[in-house]
Amino acid sequence: MKIFSLLISFFIITVGTVYSQSLTHVVISGATTLSSFCFTTGQQVIIKISPDGNILEWGIEVDPSRNGYYRGKLDPYMGRVDYYGPESDEAFRGKVKSIGACTITYYSSSQPAVQKGKVKTIGTLQLDYYMDYDDANYRGKLKSAGSIILNYYSSYDNEVYRGKLKAVGNTSLTYYSLFDDKLNKGKIKSIGTSNYTWYNEFDRKEMQGAMKSGSVIQKVNTVTYNIL
C-alpha cells in the first residue's frame, strides 16, 4: 500500500511538472523597450511572445558557457511541433498548435479585434489582454498571465514613460525621465528594489550611455528580467 501511494505521488508530481507553464522572463531591449515575455513549459522549452500576444520564437535556453552564446539566444527545439490546419478558424489557421506536450490556443475570429488571433493559453496558463476601452498606450497589450497582472504607464504619466511596462505582479519598474538624465531618458531606473545607473553626458564620451551599475540579468521573485 505504501509503495502504491508513493507511485501515485510520483505520477502526480511528474505530470504536474511536465504540463506546468509559467512566466519566467521579461526582456527589455536597449534598456528602454519591452520586447518580449518568455514562458517556460514543463519540458523546459522557452516560448517568447510579443507584448501584444504573438509568438516570436521558441527553443531551449543556451548554456552560457558555450561558444557563440549571447543573452537571449535559444537553441532549436528538436521535439514535435504541430500547427493548426486549413480547417481551423481563420484567426489562428497555420499557427503553432503545440510544442512538445504544451498545447497553445488562440482567441478566435469571433472575439473582439483587439484579442483576435492572439495567444489565449499556453498549456493551462491563461493570457488576457487590455481591451479597446482601455488607455491607448497599452490597449491590446498583455494584461495578465495566469495570476500575474501586468501594468503599463498611461496617458496621464510622463510622456517618456507612456506605454512602458510599469509592474509585473507586485514588482514595479521605473525609468529615467528627461529631467533625471537627458542622455539616458527612458532607460530602466529600477526593477523592484534593484537600481540602475548609466554613464551620462558628463562622463567620458566612450562610456556615455553604458550601464554604470545594476545587473543585465535581474531575478525578482520568480521572474528574470533581461536587459539587452
**116-168 per-position pLDDT tens digit:** 999 999 999 999 999 999 999 999 999 999 999 999 999 999 999 999 999 99
Which residues span the domain enclosing 61?
2-227
Cα–Cα distance between 69 and 58 in angstroms, integer? 16
- Judge contact between 88 and 101, C-beta under 8 A: no
Segment 68-73 shows an average pLDDT of: 61
The whole-model pTM stands at 0.86
- Report how many domains make up the chain: 1
Strand stretches in the chain, DSSP E: 22-29, 33-40, 46-49, 55-61, 74-75, 81-83, 96-99, 102-106, 119-122, 125-129, 142-145, 148-152, 165-168, 171-175, 188-191, 194-195, 197-198, 211-213, 217-220, 223-227
